[in-house]
Amino acid sequence: MKFPKVHSLEEIANLLNCEFIGDKNFEVLGMNEIHVVEPGDIVFVDHPKYYDKALQSAATIVLINKKVECPEGKALLISDDPFRDFNTLTRHFKPFQFANAAISSSASIGEGTVIQPNSFVGNHVKIGKNCLIHSNVSIYDHTIIGDNVIIHAGTILGADAFYYKKRPEGFDQLISGGRVVIEDNVGIGALCTIDKGVTGDTTIKEGTKIDNQVHVGHDSVIGKKCLIASQTGIAGCVVIEDEVTIWGQVGTTSGITIGAKAVIMGQTGVTKSVEGGKSYFGTPIEESREKLKQLANIKKIPEILNKLK
């Protein structure tokens, strides 16, 4: 998430009421999660296990809960609670804006697009040409939709990320300030839920078709011309490359990559990254041919036991 204008390190530190290490005029351009940071971004880290990863990332401003040596060319914001202060920044730069109409006056809707009754289109949404939005679809603020997109009834684009920190008093949510981006010629079935990014984009690329009752987690990227069948659950920060086929009731863990033209058979648990161009099945996931051989061998166990007797 980029800020509307360039801020100084001192300005951000004053906003958070925290100490800083570095030039007070050090430029701050935005904020992002570790997997998508760029120079000028703030990244937060609140556990020693991840200090090095954050300090060595592309981010040039690190919001951290301990005074450490500052890498050359970077700056530090010292906070007693980086998670809380990251939320403070999101609230400040991307505050919640209530709606006062079913279709916001700030929304941009292209020529030939049809929006059926009882749908909601939020603030600063952009919808391209010749789209069909069926009834009871909710499109949250800042969502971007390309041309020739079809979205079926009951689908929700832009709900918050499922991202929490456990506190003694309960769970504290990391506020989502990102977007959902749907490219041209995408089809989305009924009752799908696509969460917005925490600070970046959840992206469905051109030509992908998604069946009913599919969930896509925050900051995931689904490539071009993919097919995703019903009741699939895709976790946050997953990369699905082009022309992947995922059959029904597949579930994934977060932060993995599914290679281009892979086929994931039904009810598979994608527990790790997998190469493209192959077919996979089972939990834990394996290549289909190998998994099916194993299942065939298991069926032979009673016969082997009888022979041993």
- What single letter denotes the amino acid at residue 35? H
b/e burial code for range 154-181 (CB count within 10 A of at least 16 → b): bbbbbbbbebeeeeeeeeeebbbbbbbb
Label the pairing between strands 2-8 and 27-31.
Answer: antiparallel
Q: Is 218 annotated as catalytic?
A: yes
Amino acid at 259: G
Active-site residue (options: 134, 152, 215, 218)? 218
Q: Sheet containing 126-127: which strands, arranged edge to edge?
A: 108-109, 126-127, 144-145, 179-182, 201-204, 221-222, 239-240, 257-258
Q: DSSP character for 243? A: T
Structural contact between residues 188 and 212, judged by C-beta atoms closer than 8 angstroms: no
Contact 65, 83 (CB under 8 A): no
* Residue 102 DSSP symbol: S
Angle at 214 between CA 213 and CA 216, to 5 degrees: 145
Q: Are 274 and 291 in contact (CB under 8 A)?
A: no
Positions marked active-site: 218
